[in-house]
Amino acid sequence: MYQQNKRLLTVLSFPQIARFQKIKIIFFKKNQKKLDIRFFSYYICYENYRIMENNKKQRPTESELEILQVLWEKGSATVREVHEILEPIKDVGYTTTLKTMQIMAEKGMLKRDTSQRTHIYTPLLKREDIQDQFLNKLIDGLFSGSASRMVIGALSRKNLSGKELKEIRDYLNNIENQVS
């Protein structure tokens, strides 16, 4: 039995091995195979490292970003809940939303809780990190690295309410106080 499981480990790819980590670790501990525990731990560590690395450089597609927006607002949700929010905005089928969220979970963008009948998804990417990535790309690409040109351009094209202007003034005053 051990030989069959050892062959199974060598055939499986890294993401497939990570799905079996609890079962295999129990099996290895029962048999006291220290070398095999290290071998398997390497695959678990590699999978965790791969997910962390992907999270650092993930640039969600437009559809993935729409799903992330819903999940950031709700915290966590089922596919049905996400689909009901997206359906009036975007003509998309339930199965498309489901498949997109499954792919996002494989990429390490979402965490899927399978403990209940309906799977619950939670975002693993932080809104601020994604905003920073998109803003940096926008500033570098369209505004030649000038944040002030981007802010001036954005403010000149939109009619701002008094509340929004006050928020911007307060933010600028806080930055000036920190610099002084």
SS3 34: helix
> Nearest Cα to 123, choosing from 63, 79, 76, 84?
76
In terms of DSSP bridges, do strands 120-123 and 110-113 run parallel, antiparallel, or are they unpaired? antiparallel
pLDDT score recorded for residue 57: 63
Give the span between the Cα atoms of 176 and 170, in whole angstroms: 10
Note the CATH number of domain 62-123: 1.10.10.10
Q: Show me where the domains of the chain are located.
A: 2-57, 62-123, 127-179
* pTM, two decimal places: 0.59
- The string of pLDDT tens digits covering residues 109-138 is 999 998 888 899 999 999 999 988 888 888
- The string of pLDDT tens digits covering residues 48-107 is 555 555 555 678 899 999 999 999 999 999 999 999 999 998 889 999 999 999 999 999
Q: Are 144 and 157 in contact (CB under 8 A)?
A: no
Give the span between the Cα atoms of 11 and 40, in whole angstroms: 13
Average per-residue pLDDT in the chain?
77
> Nearest Cα to 121, choosing from 145, 136, 100?
100
Give the span between the Cα atoms of 171 and 177, in whole angstroms: 10
